[in-house]
Structure 1
Amino acid sequence: MLELRPSCEHCNKALPPASAEARICSFECTFCATCVDTVLGNVCPNCGGGFVARPVRPAQDRQGGNFLGRYPASTTVRHRPVDPAAHAAFRASLEDVPPDAR
């Protein structure tokens, strides 16, 4: 079950469960689209993977109790700003490797 983390790990922008701005890697590291595009260059600073849009969990129970009310989003903030210079070097080491091959 995805945690649906509440904010961007870099800039701490709020990313509510229905946010179309949330991006996640395969380890659920969560960043806003702006930080993924402008700071991270689609390279997760924690694992080196790429990012995809985070799915939205339905707010209403449409079938089988699978909805936000039964499975709420996380409230644990993980604010760990990225050092842009260090990340640029890390990103450069992966620039020739597509996200699906990292």
Structure 2
Amino acid sequence: MLELRPNCECCDRDLPFDSPEARICTFECTFCADCAEATLKGVCPNCGGGFVPRPIRPARLMAKYPASTKRVLKPEGCAVA
């Protein structure tokens, strides 16, 4: 089950569980669409993989399967590795 992380690792923008702007890589690193496309040029700075839109968990399942509340932020900034 996806963690549904709450923010962009690059700019710290909020990405609620139902945000169509969230992008993830195969390791579930999470970025907003703007950072994933413009800043990172479609390449995850952590693993070098690509991004896909994060699936949206139905609201009716959020009580049983809540999204993560742990924020992840790259203190050194975002740049392709």
- Tell me the TM-score range normalised by the shorter chain: over 0.9
Residue 69 (structure 1) aligned with residue 54 (structure 2): no
| d(CA) in 1 for partners of 2:37, 2:49 | 14
Q: Which has the higher helix share?
A: 1
Bigger relative contact order (CA 8 A; separation at least 6): 2
* Aligned counterparts of 1:54 and 1:74: Cα–Cα separation in 2: 14
Q: Deviations over 1:37-90 (max 9, x none)?
A: 111000000000000000000001xxxxxx1110000000001131x4xx2xx4
Superposed, 1:4-83 pairs within 5 Å as: 4-60=4-60, 67-80=61-74, 81-82=77-78
One-letter amino acid of the structure 1 residue matched with residue 73 of structure 2: H
Structure 2 unaligned residues grouped into runs of 5+: none
Q: What letter matches 2:67 in structure 1?
A: A
| RMSD value, Cα | 0.8
Distance 1:53 1:69 in 2: 23
- What is the rounded CA distance, in whole Å, between the counterparts of 2:73 and 2:48 in structure 1? 18
Which segments of 5 or more consecutive residues in structure 1 lack a partner in the other structure? 61-66, 91-102
Computing the radius of gyration over CA atoms, which structure comes out larger, 1 or 2? 1
SS at match of 2:45: coil
| AA at the equivalent of 2:54 | R
